[in-house]
């Protein structure tokens, strides 16, 4: 099993290598891929050193699977070239997510849509993944009508420059600004670029992607995405109105039984999800589960996950695991 990791020296690529090793993915040959300026560097994986190669070289090396995390423009240009060479691409950028010819996959929810013919597979947005993981079992049981989500997203979602900005500001050091404003002791209601409708691109991902993953566009979604000064882990305040009424105990049981979801919801012990708890974990944590007393059939909850793991690297690798387990590569 020859595996290429495109963007291997980046923030998500580094986590991908870590997760591949932790989950003991059957890698017989690793191909770390990065830009020309990183070519020739050595990366350690499972006790061995591997040399970083360029995209031009990697596409000729006939990997079975290529895990992409190198930005949308790179994916648009290079994913089809890898696919044409017979490599199955799992792409972590936004490039292919809403392409009607490409599958958008969270394996616990819709892995069954994948076939051998799918040579470019899209990994959803980090905020979307943790959202649909909590909503999928509830939507199946009660049928969502309308969803309101407000996100509290860590700087690691922007990238290494934003992490450095936060670190510099907490230490009183002047440096490169990844954001228009200071992020330390601040909250910036601006994730990604603004669209013509006044929403950000991140907010529109939260509107569109859940419908494709859940294979249902009958429910309405509106979102507000906010960047906060945490180094890692995204949090979401979710208000969801269902067609059918629910029992809170049953909601907790449905969430508890869903693979990859952990319920943290004990008010007596002040137990609820927080980024500090989710750090370097693959699960999606759900708490503050309570009925919205202002509307019938409506629920509030709080969802937290490590955006670099389940929100990016881990979900990408779980897709690869599903492909291997079902003989789709």
In this predicted model, what pLDDT tens digit does every residue of 44-93 receive, in sequence order? 999 999 999 999 999 999 999 999 999 999 999 999 999 999 999 999 99
Alpha-carbon torsion (164, 167, 171, 174), positive or negative = positive
The Cα–Cα gap between 328 and 219 comes to 32
| Neighbour count for residue 259 (Cβ, 10 Å) | 10
Residue 310 DSSP code:
I
- Looking at every residue in the chain, the average pLDDT score rounds to 97
Say if residue 235 is exposed, middle or buried (CB neighbours under 10 Å; 0-12, 13-18, 19+). buried
Given the residues 126, 180, 190, 279, select the one marked as catalytic: 126
Catalytic residue check, 126: yes
- Quick: pLDDT tens for 212-236: 999 999 999 999 999 999 999 999 9
The two tokens of residue 275 are: 């980024």
pLDDT value at residue 230: 97
Please give the distance of CA 229 from its chain centroid, rounded to a whole number: 19
Question: pLDDT tens for residues 235-261?
Answer: 999 999 999 999 999 999 999 999 999
pLDDT band of residue 322 (cuts 50, 70, 90) is: very high
Q: What is the DSSP letter of 229?
A: S
Domains recognised in the chain with CATH numbers: 2-123+312-325 (3.40.50.720), 127-307 (3.30.360.10)
Contact 11, 160 (CB under 8 A): yes
* Confidence band for 176, pLDDT divided at 50, 70 and 90: very high
Nearest residue to 133 (alpha-carbon basis) of 326, 269, 313, 311? 311
Active-site residue, selected from the candidate residues 139, 191, 234, 256: 234
């Amino acid at each position: 099993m020859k595996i290429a990791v495109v963007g291997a020296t980046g923030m998500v690529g580094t986590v991908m290598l870590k997760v591949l090793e932790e989950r003991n993915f059957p890698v017989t040959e690793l191909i770390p891929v990065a830009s020309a300026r990183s070519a020739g560097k050595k990366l350690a994986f499972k006790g061995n050193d591997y040399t970083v190669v360029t995209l031009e070289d990697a596409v000729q090396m006939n990997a079975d699977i290529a895990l992409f995390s190198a930005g949308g423009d790179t994916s648009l240009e290079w994913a089809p070239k890898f696919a044409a060479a017979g490599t199955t691409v799992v792409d972590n950028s936004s490039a292919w997510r809403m392409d009607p010819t490409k599958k958008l996959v969270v394996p616990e929810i819709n892995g069954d849509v994948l076939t051998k013919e799918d040579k470019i597979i899209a990994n959803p947005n980090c905020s979307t993944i943790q959202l649909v993981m909590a909503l999928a079992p509830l939507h199946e049981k009660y049928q969502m009508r309308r969803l309101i989500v407000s996100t509290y997203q860590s700087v690691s979602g922007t990238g290494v420059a934003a992490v450095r900005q936060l670190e510099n500001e907490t230490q009183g050091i002047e440096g490169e600004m990844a954001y228009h404003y200071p992020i330390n002791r601040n909250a910036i209601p601006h994730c990604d670029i603004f669209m013509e409708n006044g929403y950000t691109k991140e907010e529109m991902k939260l509107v569109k992607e859940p419908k494709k993953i859940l294979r249902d566009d009958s429910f309405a979604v509106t979102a507000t995405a906010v960047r906060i000064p945490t180094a890692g882990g995204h949090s979401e305040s979710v208000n969801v109105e269902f067609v059918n009424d629910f029992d809170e105990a049953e909601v907790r049981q449905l969430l508890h039984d869903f693979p990859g979801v952990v319920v943290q919801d004990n008010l007596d012990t002040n137990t609820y999800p927080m980024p500090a708890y989710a750090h370097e974990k693959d699960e999606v944590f759900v708490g503050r589960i309570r009925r919205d007393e202002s509307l019938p059939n409506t629920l509030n909850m709080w969802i937290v996950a490590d955006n670099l793991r389940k929100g990016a690297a881990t979900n990408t690798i779980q897709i690869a695991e599903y492909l291997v387990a079902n003989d789709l590569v």
